[in-house]
Amino acid sequence: MNRLKVLFIASELTPIAKVGGLGDVAGALPKYLQKDIDIAVVIPAYQAIKEKVEYIPDSKVKIYYVDVPEYFSERDKIYGYTDDPIRYAHFDVEVVNKIKNGTFGKVDIVHINDYHTSWIPILIKDRNLDGIKTILTIHNLGSTYQGRYSLDLLDHLNLQNVHPSIEEDKKDGEINPLLQGILNANIISTVSPTYSKEILEKEYGGELDYYLNQRKEDIYGILNGIDTTVFNPKTDTKIYANYNADDYKEKKAINKIKLIEELGLKFSPNQPLYSFIARLDAQKGVSILTESIMLTEITLLTKSLQNVRQESINFLFLGTGDEKIAAKIKEIESSTNEVKLEFTFDPILAEKMYAASDALIIPSKYEPCGLTQMIAMRYGTLPIVRETGGLKDSVEDQVTGFVFKNFDEIELKDKILESFRIFGTSKWDEMIKNAMKMDFSWDKSSKEYVKLYQKVTGNL
């Protein structure tokens, strides 16, 4: 059987140009796929890339950098421009031009990711590149992740033919790049099995559920993995003390003490440390978390007054984003020594927090996959998650973490208190060992992608 040749095209790539979770996927998945297929990665030639290395580190996966200077190498940011949809339309056109002129050699499949690369399937059709199949992976279907723009966007594509999907899309006076990917890719994947079903519902479909249901037979859900060579408490040089499933109790305690000292916190190391590591925005559920913290503090105070338990929970936030949300956390912080916000983006501090924390709270309104719960479990930190998307697929209630159903501060508060009652018991230790044994490497997921590649090409 001939090895398939896949071009994996993304708007970011860890560690070359990382902003979010997409970069982590693009930097890890191809390394695992290279065992079974020939794969190369294509990203924009951002000015922010300091060194254009030829291969993804620790692999033989070649990286191609594609530039349209006025949109990429002459601009200092990766994202954040009002004309981002135009920038990535030009990138897509240039990629397809290079596919057509043979820059990448033989190509069987183009694997695209999110709206930034979603013009590629229709451009491949438009340029009559018969035989090349396309797979679109949706990492986030939220309305702000679709690249909606005025019809002027079409002027930047140099389309040579009339396409029904564009005629349909134009009716509302806007053009939606992600919708074009959904309607024109041969296969669609999402980053967890549950999310692949949720997006067919109005609540999660980002106003595209009607079109997604038209394609539901072609939608697959594959849970993301994490790079277990990077996220490994036994070898991680960024944390204070290394550990494994046999000696985690003593070593996590050291990590907690050192973190409290480094940050100058007034937390007691004898109290449980619950963390939140994510963007401060509505999707991540910060609003119900702040409400539940206030409710939790009141409940714990009542208990202490009744001499039931003279303890509390420390809450540590790490992230940037909505300043109103940050102000709310700061307001709570000003009234107690048990809440602290680190308003910054700091991956090294994040890893120290994974190693030091007892629990990680992820109360997302929706979560296509989520990687933080997987990293947390790897470090023996129990996730407290809402039952949605990849959180539902990766965390089992009272086995590897704690799961609540509805997006509601009362339910979250009750789950936090439930975990608090178990903290420090043999049940807690058993759950930590279960969590640390979970395999969230890319091995399994990469094999599922190979099956998709074989399916779309008929190369079974």
Burial of 367 (0-12, 13-18, 19+ CB in 10 A): buried
pLDDT at 296: 81
**pLDDT value at position 41?**
98
- Residue 398: exposure state from Cβ atoms within 10 A (0-12, 13-18, ≥19): middle
- Same domain membership, residue 310 and residue 405: yes
Sign of CA dihedral 213, 219, 221, 227: negative
261 and 278 inside one domain: yes
Q: Give dist(CA 69, CA 100) in Å, integer.
A: 20
Q: Give residue 291's identity as a one-letter amino acid code.
A: E
pLDDT bracket for residue 195 (50, 70, 90): very high
**Residues whose CB falls within 8 Å of the CB of residue 111, separated by 6 or more in sequence, listed in order:** 6, 7, 8, 9, 134, 135, 137, 449, 453
At residue 302, the pLDDT reads 65
Q: Is residue 231 part of a domain?
A: no
Q: Is the same domain home to 208 and 339?
A: no
Sign of the CA dihedral 97, 100, 106, 111? positive
Nearest to 449 by CA among 1, 8, 2: 8
- State mean pLDDT over 78-88: 96
> pLDDT tens digit string along 116-128?
999 999 999 999 9
Co-location of 183 and 259 in the same domain: no
Residues 305 and 192 in one domain: no
Residues 414 and 268 grouped into a single domain: yes
185 lies in some domain: yes
SS3 content of the chain, % helix, strand, coil (to 5): 45, 15, 40
Residue 288 shares a structural domain with residue 393: yes
Instruction: Say if residue 48's pLDDT is above 90.
Output: yes
Same domain, 190 and 308: no
pLDDT at res. 436: 97
> pLDDT tens for residues 304-348?
655 544 568 999 999 999 999 999 999 999 988 899 999 998 989
What pLDDT sits at residue 458? 87
Residue 243 lies in a domain: no
The residue among 44, 30, 107, 106 whose CA lies nearest residue 73 is: 44
Question: Do residues 289 and 216 both lie within one domain?
Answer: no
Q: Provide the pLDDT for residue 311.
A: 67
pLDDT band at 303 (very low <50, low <70, confident <90, very high): low
Does residue 15 have a cis bond before it (omega within 30 degrees)? yes
Predicted TM-score (pTM) of the model is 0.90
- 240 domain residue, yes or no: no
| Domain that residue 137 falls in | 5-225+443-457
Which among 295, 289, 304 has a CA at the least distance from the CA of 408? 289
pLDDT at 308: 45
**pLDDT(176) > 70:** yes
pLDDT in tens, 375-407: 999 999 999 999 999 999 999 999 999 999 999
* CA 439 from centroid of its chain's CA atoms: 18
State the CATH number of the domain containing residue 120. 3.40.50.2000
Tally of domains within the chain? 2
Residue 53 has pLDDT above 70, yes or no: yes
Which pLDDT score is estimated for 56? 95
Same domain, 266 and 315: yes
Assigned domain for 241 exists: no
Q: Are residues 311 and 413 in the same domain?
A: yes
